[in-house]
Structure 1
Amino acid sequence: MSPLLIVHVSAGCVGILSGAAALSVRKGERLHRAFGTVFFLSMLTVSALAIYLAIFVPPTAAGGAPPSASVSVGILTIYLVATAWMTVRRKEGCIGRFEKGALLVALGVTAALLIFGLRAASIPMTRPGGYVPYFVFAAFAAFAATGDLRMILRGGISGVRRIARHLWRMCFALFFAASFFFLGQQKVMPVYMHGSPLLLALGIAPLLVMIFWLIRVRFTNWFKDDPHHKADRSLR
């Protein structure tokens, strides 16, 4: 295993652990922000290295995924954690060049994934598994871009919407990391664990936690009642 691949895998493991820790502690407190910072930096590292490995390392050595898929998902992951991070860094009800640039990135990733998917689907005898994921990720990127556009048109975001935006983007980035590791890399695990329900549960756990917190944030008084919900302002 090359040094870059070791760093890539290590950063992914740190990202999964720090992301899980950030979700486990009280939101807005110093510990939550510390784990969140580690997760943010880890995901930037693992995504940047995924892009590099996809471009410069043969697919068999980099894990077998098509370079177009690895590069697109890598950029999408960087976009998710960066916009989630900036959501709590930016003053409520304000936008800037970053948000407008992020929208362009999301639209660019959407277009690229659609092109890659159509190209893969046009190849004779290609199974759905060879092109459907492109369209799934394209739809997801388009959904995220729609949220960016709405925020820009409103002149910013605040309150519950702001927390929800930060939450779902970070959780999806964690889901990408967890699912790629626990579901996509079972070959590096003991044979008896291949296809294990435990690995499936670990892979989709970030989505389940995200749903729980989105419901709690959007439909309960947690945001208003929690004395720490404004603690993220200290990051500015």
Structure 2
Amino acid sequence: MPTPEIITLFAHVALGAFAVIVGAIAIGSRKGRKVHVSAGRAFVFSMGLASVLGAVLGAIKYETFWITFHAGILGATLVASGVLAVRIRQRGAKRLFTAVAGLNFLNAVALFVAGWYATTLPDARLFNFAAEDYFFLFGMAAIALGGDVRMIFWSPVSNRHRIAQHLLRMCIGFFIAAGSAFTGPGASAFPAAVRDSGVLSLPELTIVILTLFWLWKTLRQSRPLAAS
């Protein structure tokens, strides 16, 4: 009979894989249209739940999945703040955004401390993960945190800015999901020849390029298509 840990791991992987699929549809479709909205909602649900399960798994199996705990919290805060970014003008949204930003801040500090502590160890690894891995996630959390501060204290928030923040957070979350699937733990499912070819890095590179494109397209327009 499968143990709770195995069930959690299976659900985490399955939801993460689904998040990659619907995330690709959302980032590749025209923003604000029905396909984008439907795929985006599916991404928020799957990525959010996969992130929470990843954080639980990382806490339980910290000897081998500790960084998954931080990545899970980061993924959950990204999709939550991504949704709140477009709803920041609604009543009570800014208070919820502040709570999510607080959690992101604590996670960012923990990631920096973990990375720094890893550098003091003989092999510069903490729970089998290199210091660079912790600092990389810290960098993404810090980028989101900078946007958090601006969204909370900047008033009024323009359509371009709130949509740009939404895009950035969702795309970083998508980057984490794709990275976990293709160059992270999920890479073990591919043959060694595929892993060594470097082709598994292409999805992450594609996400970065599309993120920059959609941010440029959003910020250059006086009224973004997805503003409503």
TM over 0.5: yes
Closer/same/farther in 2, CA of residues 201 and 125 from structure 1, 3 Å limit:
closer
Q: Which residue of 44, 49, 55 corresponds with 1:51?
A: 55
Give the drift of 1:117. Answer: 1.5
Query: Hey, what does 1:210 align to over in structure 2?
Result: 211
1:1-236 maps to which residues of 2 (within 5 A)? Answer: 2-57=6-61, 59=63, 64-65=64-65, 67=66, 69-91=67-89, 96-126=94-124, 130-184=130-184, 185-219=186-220, 221=221, 224=223, 228-230=225-227, 233=228
1:9-57 Cα distance to aligned partner (Å, 9 max, x none):
1101110000111122221122211100100000111111111111223
Q: Return the letter of the residue paired with 1:20.
A: A
Please, what is the CA RMSD of the aligned residues?
A: 2.4
1:99-121 Cα distance to aligned partner (Å, 9 max, x none):
21122112111211122122212
* C-alpha distance in structure 1 between counterparts of 2:8 and 2:152, whole Å: 38
Once superposed, which parts of structure 1, at least 4 consecutive aligned residues long, lie more than 6 Å away? none
TM-score, normalising length: structure 2:
0.87
1:183-229 Cα distance to aligned partner (Å, 9 max, x none):
1222211233122343111232211110111111123x3x63x7x53
1:161-199 Cα distance to aligned partner (Å, 9 max, x none):
111100011001000110111112222112331223431
* C-alpha distance in structure 1 between counterparts of 2:123 and 2:17, whole Å: 36
How many residue pairs get aligned? The number is: 221
Give the drift of 1:135. Answer: 2.2
Q: Return the letter of the residue paired with 1:229.
A: A
SS at match of 2:122: coil
Closer/same/farther in 2, CA of residues 130 and 17 from structure 1, 3 Å limit:
same
Give the drift of 1:83. Answer: 0.4
Deviates more, 1:194-203 or 1:4-13: 194-203
TM-score, normalising length: structure 1:
0.84
Q: Return the letter of the residue paired with 2:49.
A: T
Quick one: percent identity of the two aligned structures?
29
Which runs of no fewer than 5 residues in structure 1 stay unpaired? none
Which runs of no fewer than 5 residues in structure 2 stay unpaired? none
Q: Return the letter of the residue paired with 1:29.
A: R
CA contact (8 A) 2:84 2:93 kept: no
Give the drift of 1:58. Answer: 6.3
CA contact (8 A) 1:95 1:152 kept: no
* C-alpha distance in structure 1 between counterparts of 2:52 and 2:18, whole Å: 15
